Amino acid sequence: MNSIEKLYSVILDRKENPQEGSYTCYLFDKGLDKILKKVGEESAETIIAAKNNDNELLCGEICDLIYHLLVMCAEKGLDVNDVLLELDERSKKIGNLKQMKTVDRNT
């Protein structure tokens, strides 16, 4: 089990067995809109950290974003293993270069 699977397992456990004071439980209690708001905030913070060339901050923001994405998956009933399988499938396409379309912007 990798780190993402372990974290997702904890998130699912918090959803099924709420614990007082748990931030994850707070997100589930507030619902999808709050979770989506946090995904958006963390996405923006990740972009800003990347733009500011601060890899230590960027790493932290990526972790925050992944966490909130996993909470969103749990809320929506999307198993993280389905996401990981899709990533595996997509990795098989590496090297399959697409032909770029030439677009005449002058017409």
What residue ranges do the domains of the chain occupy?
3-83
pTM: 0.85
- Residues found in the chain: 107
The per-residue DSSP string of 50-104 comes to HHTT-HHHHHHHHHHHHHHHHHHHHHHT--HHHHHHHHHHHHTTTT-PPPPPP--
Q: Do 67 and 54 touch, CB atoms closer than 8 A?
A: no
DSSP label at residue 17: S
pLDDT in tens, 40-94: 999 999 999 999 999 999 999 999 999 999 999 999 999 999 999 999 998 888 7
- What is d(CA 93, CA 96) in angstroms, rounded to the nearest whole number? 6
Superfamily of domain 3-83: MazG-like (1.10.287.1080)
DSSP label at residue 105: T
